[in-house]
Structure 1
Amino acid sequence: MALKRLLIGRPLKSTELGEQKLNKAKALAILSSDALSSVAYGPEQILIVLVTISMAAFWYSLPIAIGVLVLLTALILSYRQIIFAYPHGGGAYVVSKENLGVNAGLIAGGSLLVDYILTVAVSVSAGTDAITSAFPALHEHNVLIAIIFVVFITLLNLRGVTESATILAYPVYLFVIALFILIGAGLYQIAAGSVSPELHTPVGTPIAGISLFILLRAFASGSSALTGVEAISNAIPNFKEPAPVNAAKTLTAMGALLALLFSGIVVLAYYYGISPKEEVTVVSQIAEEIFGRNFMYFFIQGTTALILILAANTGYSAFPLLAVNLSRDKFIPRIFTVRGDRLGYSNGIIILGLLSILLIIAFQGQTEQLIPLYAVGVFIPFTLSQSGMMVKWIRERPAGWGVKLFINTIGALISFTVTIVFFLTKFAQVWPVIIFLPIIILTFYQIHKHYESVGEQLRTASLVSSIPIAGNVMIVPVAGITRVVENSINYAKSLKPDQIIAVNVAFDRESAKKLEEKWAKWQPEVRLVTLYSYYRSIIQPLSKFIDTIERKSSESHYQVTVIIPQFIPKKGWHNILHNQSSILIRTALLYRKNVVITTVPYHLQK
């Protein structure tokens, strides 16, 4: 408990929930870090595709970047509309479920749940790559470094939204400042003529081997920079009032920053002729070209690594809230709706951290392996949410619905195109989506079916009649005459049952006879039944005896109750010194339908 308080902090009262809401500056830091951090690998993904043709094809990165910015604009405008249309949060899941049906909602929700796990894994893996780019000697320890960072961020989020936002705001804004300095210095050198024109191919130069397929593939890869755009619409409940207004302003600020940083990095990579390398990131190469390996280089690399790692926090902010919506609709376990000591949804936070660590280990921290799966997982909800908003505007036709419909239609068409391109061009990397998404949906329905079944059975209105209990037969398993047994017998007598039966499972007749003689003198009014077990099993003969009594009692509507004596040692470790047969008996009898199990503890004093 002391360690828990040290790591997580003191418990907060439920009345302090309002103090855990975020202002726009802190919300921008923790909810935009995923989108902003993708600037560090989004432009690189475009170049990775184009380099398969030749470095001369890098000029195509400029029109591709313009296409990505058009998609970004459409998504920002679309999600602003979602924020005001659904001010209680839920994002793509709620929009899709209410306008396209439950199946569409579950596809969006399932995709996003997986995507947020991937957000953590990709962000931390990319951040680790940035660190090992600056310090190559650490490259072989990528997985271990990534796991340590996931544990750190998990603990940070368990301490509460406000506290984690306060800590995370600094590195996010330092990253933004560092990249603006990098872009500004780079553009200054380009304008001053310090950058050789031989480093890049002039825009418009014909390139042999280029095709629409390659360009679409590069566009889809570059669109990975837009992952995380939807997080703000999922996390509206985390904002201070007026929550929708603050969320919309934060979304607009995020879109503007993302557009400037993304386009700036693409332009610098083109003019400086940067080519993607396996162990050195594009941002690292640009910083080294502009500043050399001095303080500014390490400042940029340090802040880039920090935001890439802390971008995982977007997943920690959005995953628990999405899980709450799915849980309230009975599609995932209800533990996700429980707030922890610090008023955050701690079960969602812990599960997200564990699943992310498993993913990092499975992929050995290889960011390139994760990004396509990560990106396609978010463009499916993008497409569904935009399509859902189209249906909403057509059905409701509010004032200005034509413009709103146009914005969502553009967003839906581009998002759908990107999704299809991902499947066509990166099928070898994104095929798991086709497998795990149906499994997730099926799991959702199985969980929902269970909750509906439980609810139906527990509702008093659904019961046709209730047969009254005519009496009670109590069975007390005993191993000898002890204070523990005496305590249980006295408890059974206090309930005034119709009959108390003490049951002893004996392994030999001599010890059984001695117990029967002592029992007759000690508790003459309580019947003792001896069961012989030639194979030294307690559970089997006891179970058969209880079944026999239960069958006879059910005919006359008597309730059978098994009272299990159990002594509790003063110190927990003392338990390993005792057989504690009572635990085995309780476990074996727990699932018997018509038998009540009661444990009567006897606490030892020393």
Structure 2
Amino acid sequence: MLSVVKRFLIGRPLKSSELGEQKLNKTKALAILSSDALSSVAYGPEQILLVLMTIGTIAFWYSIPIAVGVLILLLALILSYRQIIFAYPRGGGAYVVSKENLGENAGLIAGGSLLVDYILTVAVSVSAGTDAITSAIPSLHDHNVLIASVLVILITILNLRGITESASILAYPVYLFVLALFILIGVGLFNIITGNVSPDLHAPLGTPVAGITLFLLLRAFASGSSALTGVEAISNAIPNFKYPSAKNAAKTLAIMGSLLAVLLVGIVVLAYYYGISPKVEETVISQIASETFGRNYMYYFIQGTTALILVLAANTGYSAFPLLAFNLSKDKYIPSMFKMRGDRLGYSNGIITLGITSILLIIVFQGQTEQLIPLYAVGVFIPFTLSQTGMLVKWIREKPKGWIVKLSINFVGALISFTVMMIFFITKFGQVWAVLIFLPLLVFGFHKVKRHYMAVGEQLSISSCEPPLAIEGNVIIVPVAGITYVVEHSLNYAKSLNPEQILAVYVAFDKEDEKAFEEKWKKWQPDIRLVTLYSHYRSLIQPLSKFISKVENKAIESNYQVTVLIPQFIPKKGWHNILHNQSSLLIREILLHRRDVVITTVPYRFKK
């Protein structure tokens, strides 16, 4: 039944030879990897206005120069990540760059930041998309968390079906969103140019504002820079592109940067001229669309596509998180399960992990986007800063042709990224302090996992380990619960192994029962020694465990191997298991931790 449901949800398994068919062309890659960055124009401008609003609406004209500053940062990041794409065509982005050029810990900080950031990408995007839905349908406001959680589940299932299939579906909403915003910006600018927008709605550029400070402007700039989250995703996912992957990734990055620049400036300009102020119950884009078109079909088209891309922007996380997790797993910093491809050739364990953690985050924060954005933004500017600094070290060390220009580009990117990161820490410390705790803990966890894998490798290596002691013979212990066909079947198997000795062990809770069982056994299996253990406290495990320890100690002295052979019957139907005490499973679980004991299960399957 479960396999049928699985096939229905994610489709038939794909052969390993079909991996090449799962690569993305530029059109699909732009949709699936740029949706996060493009969707951030729906809340980036709003974050600028929220900071400026603390002074008053008269300060809103500062959003224009702040937007220009964000564009300068965007240009620096696009040029920087273009260089990373060609320098590291196998992907990995900030993690690989930082680890190679700045050291192991810097790489782990970048990798850990991005892992958390992609979880936040999903939570923020879906929460923001839910906000857009409930802005259009206010009666759904009370169900934000439920709606967001269901949307995450749907996107997770879509990604489990494979990157090509998900990209084919997601391309339409992304391009519809771009079209919708181009129409909105075009009509809005036309209304402004033709004088259909009252100049009284906004303060003229350059109007003196009492109380404005450089600190406040920097804070607004940092908040607006949240619109740049997702820029790094393409450099992480280069292996997902069709050949030549690096060139295709670089072109996709340039297109994404151009679209993001136009949309961001357009929304900021319209918000300024329309005199839009942020509202709790309605997003900035919703207000702009309402002012431009009224509440007609165009308004709902814009709101619908905005909601779709905000939700589907989560797909950037689903594209980049599994690949980053693969790189960390390959380097043995996180569990090896993240290296495994699923039925549809995607890294399904990474996809499922991302979906579960995102839902938990949405529940904890109750789907409040504004609470997540500062943590989300600072999480991405840490790897921004580290990757640019890593590239600086690379150019200084290698000095390739034209390295001065490359160095200058990465220096500007590193400087601005570091500035934005510090502004977040200083101005929004109350919201981002958790980063200073969980990042060191995450890096510590990475090192613990790596040490475990290194220790395992050392212990498994033939060359570095002492040769195992020769086994002179085998002593088999068979726990028995009665005189049954299952026990007889197990004893016959034990005899076939030609051991030195077979010990049947029976744990009795009653003295009379103990004596009666011994008499029956002598008649039934006179050739096999029976050991009866009386349990004063009706415990099966404790006396059995003590007996096995005694045998184990004696066997070690004689270089004998102790094998505990556990009879276990298998019911025909799964639900029948709850009707039995499963003592065999409990015995096996306890004995698994014994160093010199081999546990063997002899199953007997019921036919009825």
TM-score, normalised to structure 1's length?
0.99
Alignment of 1:148-187 (within 5 A): 148-187=150-189
CA distance in 1, matches of 2:93, 2:581: 53
- The alpha carbon displacement at 1:228 in A equals 0.1
Report what 1:278 is aligned to.
280
> Using the alignment, how far apart are the partners of 2:190 and 2:538 within structure 1?
87
CA distance in 2, matches of 1:65, 1:530: 83
Q: Distance in 1 between matches of 2:370 and 2:463?
A: 56
Alpha-carbon separation, structure 2, partners of 1:517 and 1:205: 105
Shift in Å, 1:534: 1.9
List aligned pairs for 1:542-561, cutoff 5 A. 542-561=544-563
Is the 2:479–2:567 Cα contact (8 Å) retained in structure 1?
yes
Query: Please, which of 99, 103, 106 is the counterpart of residue 104 of structure 1?
Result: 106
Distance in 2 between residues matched to 1:435 and 1:39, nearest whole Å: 30
1:527 aligns with 2:529: yes
Please report how far the alpha carbon of residue 481 of structure 1 lies from its aligned counterpart in structure 2 after TM superposition: 1.2
Given that 2:277 and 2:284 are in contact with CA atoms closer than 8 Å, whether structure 1 keeps it comes out as: yes
Q: Distance in 1 between matches of 2:312 and 2:91?
A: 23
Equivalence for 2:605: 603
Superposition deviation, residue 263 in structure 1 = 0.4
Query: How many aligned positions are there?
Result: 606
Whether 1:401 aligns to 2:403 is yes
1:35 is the counterpart of 2:27 = no
For 2:463, what is the secondary structure of its paired residue? helix
- CA–CA distance in 2 between the matches of 1:329 and 1:82? 20
Tell me the distance in 2 between the aligned counterparts of 1:575 and 1:529: 28
Separation (CA, whole Å) in 2 of partners of 1:463 and 1:277: 67
Give, in angstroms, the shift of residue 508 of structure 1: 1.7
Q: Give, as a single letter, the amino acid of the residue that structure 1 aligns with 2:364.
A: A
The equivalent residue for 2:140 is 138
Q: Deviations over 1:324-348 (max 9, x none)?
A: 0001111111111111111111111
- Matches of 2:397 and 2:329, distance apart in 1: 28
1:488-527: per-residue Cα shift (whole Å, max 9, x none)? 1011111101111111111122222222222222222111
2:536 and 2:44 mapped to 1: Cα distance? 72
Structure 2 partner of 1:125: 127
Match of 1:239 in 2: 241
2: CA distance, partners of 1:290 / 1:580: 69
Cα deviation digits, residues 26-59 of structure 1 (max 9, x gap): 0000100000000000011101111111111111
Q: 1:472 aligns to what SS in structure 2?
A: strand
Q: Deviations over 1:361-387 (max 9, x none)?
A: 111100110000000000000000000
1:370 aligns with 2:382: no
**Which residue pairs with 2:290 in the alignment?**
288
The one-letter amino acid paired with 1:201 is A
Distance in 2 separating the partners of 1:59 and 1:578 = 74
Specify the alignment match of 2:392 in structure 1: 390
What is the rounded CA distance, in whole Å, between the counterparts of 2:85 and 2:495 in structure 1? 63
CA shift at 1:468, angstroms? Answer: 0.6
Q: 1:249: how far off?
A: 0.5
Shift, 1:73, TM fit:
0.3
The aligned runs of 1:307-386 (5 Å cut-off) are 307-386=309-388
Gaps (5+ residues) in structure 1? none
Amino acid at match of 2:584: S
User: Contact 2:70–2:225 (CA<8 Å) still a contact in 1?
Assistant: yes
Aligned to 1:584: 586
CA contact (8 A) 2:229 2:377 kept: yes
Find 1:479's aligned residue among 469, 478, 481.
481
Matched, 1:26 2:28: yes
CA RMSD of aligned residues (A): 0.7
Residue 503 of structure 1 aligns to a residue in which SS? strand
- Partner SS, residue 241 of structure 1: coil
Match of 1:504 in 2: 506
Match for 1:567 among 541, 566, 569?
569
- How far apart are 1:590 and its partner, in Å? 1.2
Q: Which SS does the other structure have where 2:533 is aligned?
A: strand
- Hey, what does 1:516 align to over in structure 2? 518
SS in 2 for 1:597: strand
**Could you tell me whether the CA contact under 8 Å between 2:458 and 2:465 is conserved in 1?**
no
Gaps of 5+ in 2: none
Cα deviation digits, residues 147-166 of structure 1 (max 9, x gap): 11011101110111011001
Cα distance in structure 1, aligned partners of 2:294 and 2:537:
80
Instruction: Provide the residue aligned with 1:44 in structure 2.
Output: 46
The superposition leaves residues 134-178 of structure 1 with CA deviations (integer Å, 9 ceiling, x where unpaired) of 111111111111111011101110111011001100000000000
Answer whether contact 2:381 2:420 (CA < 8 A) is retained.
Answer: yes
- Letter aligned with residue 579 of structure 1: N
In the alignment, which residue of structure 1 is the partner of 2:231? 229
Distance 2:439 2:62 in 1: 34
The secondary structure found in structure 2 opposite 1:461 is coil
For residues 138 and 465 of structure 1, what CA distance do their matches in structure 2 show? 68
Q: Which residue of 2 aligns with 1:493?
A: 495
TM-score, normalization by structure 2:
0.99
String of CA shifts for 1:85-129, please: whole Å, max 9, x gaps.
Answer: 000000000000000000100000000000000000000000011
The residue that corresponds to 1:261 in the other structure is: 263
How far apart are the structure 1 equivalents of 2:581 and 2:149? 39
Looking at structure 2, the residues matched to 8 and 414 of structure 1 have their Cα atoms a distance apart, in angstroms, of: 43
Alignment of 1:437-452 (within 5 A): 437-452=439-454
Q: Which whole-Å CA distance do the structure 1 matches of 2:583 and 2:203 have between them? A: 80
- CA apart distance, 1:466: 2.3
Residue equivalent to 1:593: 595
Give 1:461's aligned residue: 463
Residue 427 of structure 1: aligned partner: 429
Secondary structure at 1:496 match in 2:
coil
Deviates more, 1:245-254 or 1:459-468: 459-468
Q: Percent identity?
A: 77
